[in-house]
């Protein structure tokens, strides 16, 4: 097998299913407009909604997966072995959508970026399985995030493998500002026990503000400036 073929197998036979998205009229019976996109709901009975200029169609994932089974044909064993996705998984459709949005060249280049930081093929697959949308993140953002977490904060690779969504957060608006706040809290010894940065990173905005800024009344203003300093400075100019 040539090198390009080996690289493509990182995503296994998911590539086989991209023709579903490239040829949507075969499932709906009519051709949809180019601006089709999928919106996931958090309800356990998740549905995918497909919109077009001419209207909308709603269908359960079960129908979608049923069609995927036919599209994959004899490949589900390879899909499960190489990538770990169950065709019945809600994440499967997001994986299909991701690879349908990317060319093989772009996908391979992003995977090579992870490999350049020491991630193994298996670790790349695990990250993709946990967060299929990760590979839709720009290469610049991925590189900046990996360097920040691994070289600056000194995270082990295993942390990012198990929490790849960390790389999808905005570095300028979320990751770095929250890290600065935690560092200030540490310097001032406002907490007896330093919280995990990962746990802080995933908090909703209002919860983060309450737990790490508002509660420290004597230091709240300084913490807020540390958190939103750039925003406050730019608004005064």
Question: Is 70 exceeded by the pLDDT of residue 67?
Answer: no
At 100, the pLDDT band (50, 70, 90 cuts) reads confident
The answer, yes or no, to whether residue 5 has pLDDT greater than 80, is no
pLDDT band at 82 (very low <50, low <70, confident <90, very high): low
CB 163 within 8 A of CB 198: yes
pLDDT at 84: 59
C-beta pairs of 164-170 under 8 Å, 24+ apart in sequence: 164/127, 164/128, 164/130, 164/131, 164/134, 165/130, 165/131, 165/134, 165/202, 166/198, 166/201, 167/134, 167/137, 167/141, 167/142, 168/131, 168/133, 168/134, 168/137, 169/145, 169/201
Residue with the larger pLDDT of the pair 231 and 41: 231
pLDDT of residue 223: 96
Q: What's the pLDDT tens digit per position in 110-134?
A: 989 999 999 998 898 889 888 988 9
Out of 6-15, 19-28, 48-57, 82-91, least confident range: 48-57
Mean per-residue pLDDT, 150-161: 95
Per-residue pLDDT tens digits for 193-208: 999 999 999 999 999 9
Tell the residue number behind the tokens 């957060």, with chain if given.
Answer: 169
Say whether pLDDT at 106 is over 70: yes
**Closest among 210, 232, 200, 10 to 110, alpha carbons compared:** 10
Which of 57-61, 210-214, 218-222 shows the lowest mean pLDDT across its residues? Answer: 57-61
Tell me what pLDDT residue 169 has: 96
Residue 215: is its pLDDT beyond 50?
A: yes
Region 210-229 average pLDDT: 94
């Amino acid at each position: 097998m040539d090198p390009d073929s080996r690289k493509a197998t990182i995503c296994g036979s998911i590539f086989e299913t991209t023709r579903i998205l490239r040829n949507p009229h075969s499932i709906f019976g009519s051709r949809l407009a180019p601006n089709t996109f999928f919106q996931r709901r958090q309800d356990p009975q998740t549905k995918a909604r497909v919109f077009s200029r001419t209207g909308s169609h709603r269908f359960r994932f079960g129908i979608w997966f049923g069609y995927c089974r036919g599209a994959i044909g004899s490949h589900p064993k390879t899909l499960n072995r190489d990538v770990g996705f169950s065709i019945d998984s809600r994440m499967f459709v997001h994986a299909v959508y991701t690879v349908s949005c990317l060319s093989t060249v772009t996908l391979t280049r992003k995977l090579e970026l992870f490999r350049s930081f020491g991630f193994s093929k298996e670790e790349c697959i695990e990250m993709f399985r946990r967060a299929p949308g990760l590979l839709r993140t720009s290469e610049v953002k991925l590189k900046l995030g990996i360097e920040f977490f691994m070289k600056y904060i000194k995270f082990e690779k295993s942390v990012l493998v198990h929490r790849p969504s960390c790389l999808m957060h905005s570095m300028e608006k979320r990751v770095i500002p929250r890290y600065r706040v935690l560092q200030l809290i540490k310097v001032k010894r406002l907490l007896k026990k330093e919280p995990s940065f990962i746990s802080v990173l995933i908090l909703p905005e209002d919860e983060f503000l309450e737990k790490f800024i508002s509660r420290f009344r004597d230091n709240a203003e300084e913490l807020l400036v540390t958190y939103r300093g750039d925003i406050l400075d730019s608004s005064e100019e």
